[in-house]
Structure 1
């Protein structure tokens, strides 16, 4: 929505912010998006997904229900969390806003940048603004939207003021950090009060006011959550786990565990669990093991592939990380949450609901991640059967490539776009784990330099794609028609036609939804598609 020739609304209500709304538009981030330095101020509301916002030397957790306010002239970069996308509403406005309050005039109220937690009212106002995104409005409607935005900015200022005044006393934050780092050691209220420099009674009152729990209850929850995660993820014995989480013996851990969880550790391990899976790949891995999550993030291809299973065992499915993950999964009362390794803030929020199993997906091979999840849900035998079947298909495919192609040569996978292209290494799915690890193709030389192949992906321009030329080139095309047409037109340029892969007819177009995952079902389908494309059958 563009509002270029509309006068500023000169409302004179106390606490009202005055400015000129310029644009309201939607953005989606799958990896990086950078908004260049601008003469306009901006507020970006995260309406789905999560990631990180970088402004100068500052970084902010950007998740659903938060807004990032940035002064003019600042460069802001958003990065979505691994294998997630962020959906954002970007609001740009000019003229330095002022807030009239008690006769005083204040300038831009959010410093150079700020992260704001939106409440239900401001989220609803965001939804109202979003309805006008990208639309040209009649003058009467334009004044209405300007008025709505003026009220929205004023409410944000009020929220920001409340947040600044409700910040916990510094010693509370220091105490929480100390507990987090030392909960495996003996801890007492008296000890923490002394470290904080307050009386034990004052410590107890302020601690509960800030955390919502007593000191003892807070420490117990940390220890039992850690014990649950170790039971599920390591299968260590109780004595070893007790020592690692801050208890002196397994019997005492077992008693506290039963009080907190409602079942003894041995019974807890055998008990069927309601699972919340917050990634495409882990939801697909669970389905491949015959386990249906109670809440799951799943791709459209996987949803259709397992449609029969999903229909028989209804669950709450999301095509992206839920808008507000905490509120979305908490009502289902999951016994276990599975996610990629994320920020400490997000992990703490999730652990308040259930034990969290989080894996560093860029550091572990995909099949090790699959086996780990299988062990957590006691499906080790099923995982072995699945991987053995896939290995047989890989061996058959390799023998066929030996006959029809011979020496493998180099291969590369690139997602093409007019603005940005993504060249994938061997730790980011997109079929590269199949090409490089299983079928024994090698990345082009430029990806091997300085370990670039192991960093996930490299951003480049459409013009620079020939620098990543390989014997076999797999391209993912944009989903949208106009950008797709523009990319295909660009590929007719001489610099592209000179590439050996083009001249040898070794360019292959892949389907993005199929080549997104690195779960067993996606991997098998990727193998079949690679073989069909390379053998032209």
Structure 2
């Protein structure tokens, strides 16, 4: 058993990041603080879905450019940023910025594969990875936000550049508050959280009487190398939606102290759950690792497998952990559980 961050997770972050959240599935520990109350203005926006709210608020106001600048403290020192930035380029924070209505004009390439952001990025340019400095210069941003500081010095010569390291925020509440403050839109942050909590409450209500209140739910991932991992509430793969929004129980032996934990097949039964959600990291679509897992006697004897409580989740859909993805994953989980429960009764 290993208690390190899996190498494939780090590789996927570089190639496929959309939590955290979580940043970031994605990863880091922390309990969600109480959500801020929505203002009257925020309440009107919150009636739409997170994707709709982000799309409707992404167009900057004409007067915002005249609102001046402010000092913003970062790990690189204090940066003078626009009070209401109008043209933002980012590497991996597209979803976080869109959640608070920011106008994202450039983002790294894998963001366009994020099923929850595709429509919102219709007018956004691919700035490459590593970030193409010349492309950014062409876009003439007034703010640049980066997770990685590879090109920080060059980018900071183009526009005010804010470095927010991976894992700075540890849940959707902290993430939305952070980015709402960054772009001068705390009202949009409040509206987003209000909608998130509404969707979470509706999801919990739909599951009443469908699953036993003591049932456990586990998130797992198989790699193309045959490694098997289990995930906590803030390592992507839907953990924030499943555990924090829907408040479903993780297996007793699992812990958020180990957001990612590698399992041997011998230990898998100890970390198994009544309901198990499996993603497969298999970029070349070989399928061999999954076939071997399914042929294993240990796997086939798990209660979740025998009771038809095993769910195969699309990697790209559930890997994502930006606030928009987390919110949309709530309904995906609820739909899966309800539909499977009904099917098992037939």
Q: Report the TM-score, using the length of structure 2 for normalisation.
A: 0.68
Question: Residue 62 of structure 2 corresponds to which residue in structure 1?
Answer: none
The answer as to 2:172 corresponding to 1:366 is: yes
Question: Residue 514 of structure 1 corresponds to which residue in structure 2?
Answer: 317
Task: Sort the Cα spacing of 1:229 and 1:457 in 2 relative to 1 into closer, same or farther, 3 A.
Answer: farther
- Mapped to 1, the partners of 2:165 and 2:186 lie a distance apart of 17
- Mapped to 2, the partners of 1:456 and 1:348 lie a distance apart of 32
Question: Residue 336 of structure 2 corresponds to which residue in structure 1?
Answer: 533
CA drift of 1:398 comes to 0.9
- Mapped to 1, the partners of 2:320 and 2:237 lie a distance apart of 7
CA drift of 1:506 comes to 1.4
Between the two proteins, the alignment pairs up a number of residues equal to 280
- Mapped to 1, the partners of 2:217 and 2:329 lie a distance apart of 15
Task: Sort the Cα spacing of 1:303 and 1:535 in 2 relative to 1 into closer, same or farther, 3 A.
Answer: closer
- Mapped to 2, the partners of 1:330 and 1:80 lie a distance apart of 28
Q: Answer whether contact 2:169 2:175 (CA < 8 A) is retained.
A: no
Question: SS of the residue aligned with 1:337?
Answer: strand
1:41-190 equivalence runs, <5 A? 80=10, 83-85=13-15
Question: Residue 503 of structure 1 corresponds to which residue in structure 2?
Answer: 306
Question: Residue 288 of structure 1 corresponds to which residue in structure 2?
Answer: 99
Question: SS of the residue aligned with 1:422?
Answer: strand
Q: Answer whether contact 1:410 1:442 (CA < 8 A) is retained.
A: yes
1:303-355: CA deviation from partner (whole Å, max 9, x where unpaired): 67442x443xx23125xx52454444344343222233x46x65455444432
The answer as to 2:199 corresponding to 1:393 is: yes
Q: Which runs of 5+ in 2 are unaligned?
A: 17-67, 341-346
Pick one of 143, 155, 174 that aligns with 1:336.
143
- Mapped to 1, the partners of 2:69 and 2:236 lie a distance apart of 26
- Mapped to 2, the partners of 1:391 and 1:480 lie a distance apart of 34
Question: SS of the residue aligned with 2:308?
Answer: coil
Pick one of 59, 65, 71 that aligns with 1:231.
71
Question: SS of the residue aligned with 1:515?
Answer: helix
Task: Sort the Cα spacing of 1:283 and 1:484 in 2 relative to 1 into closer, same or farther, 3 A.
Answer: same
Q: Which runs of 5+ in 1 are unaligned?
A: 1-29, 34-78, 87-227, 235-243, 246-256
1:97-147: CA deviation from partner (whole Å, max 9, x where unpaired): xxxxxxxxxxxxxxxxxxxxxxxxxxxxxxxxxxxxxxxxxxxxxxxxxxx
1:197-255: CA deviation from partner (whole Å, max 9, x where unpaired): xxxxxxxxxxxxxxxxxxxxxxxxxxxxxxx9972469xxxxxxxxx96xxxxxxxxxx
Question: Residue 475 of structure 1 corresponds to which residue in structure 2?
Answer: 278
RMSD: 3.4
More helix by share: 1
1:141-162: CA deviation from partner (whole Å, max 9, x where unpaired): xxxxxxxxxxxxxxxxxxxxxx
More strand by share: 1
Question: SS of the residue aligned with 1:85?
Answer: helix
Question: Residue 273 of structure 1 corresponds to which residue in structure 2?
Answer: 86
- Mapped to 1, the partners of 2:11 and 2:70 lie a distance apart of 25
Question: SS of the residue aligned with 1:406?
Answer: coil
- Mapped to 1, the partners of 2:115 and 2:276 lie a distance apart of 28
Question: SS of the residue aligned with 2:208?
Answer: helix
- Mapped to 2, the partners of 1:346 and 1:456 lie a distance apart of 29
Question: SS of the residue aligned with 1:423?
Answer: strand
Task: Give structure 1 regions of 4+ aligned residues with deviation exceeding 6 angstroms.
Answer: none
- Mapped to 1, the partners of 2:88 and 2:239 lie a distance apart of 29
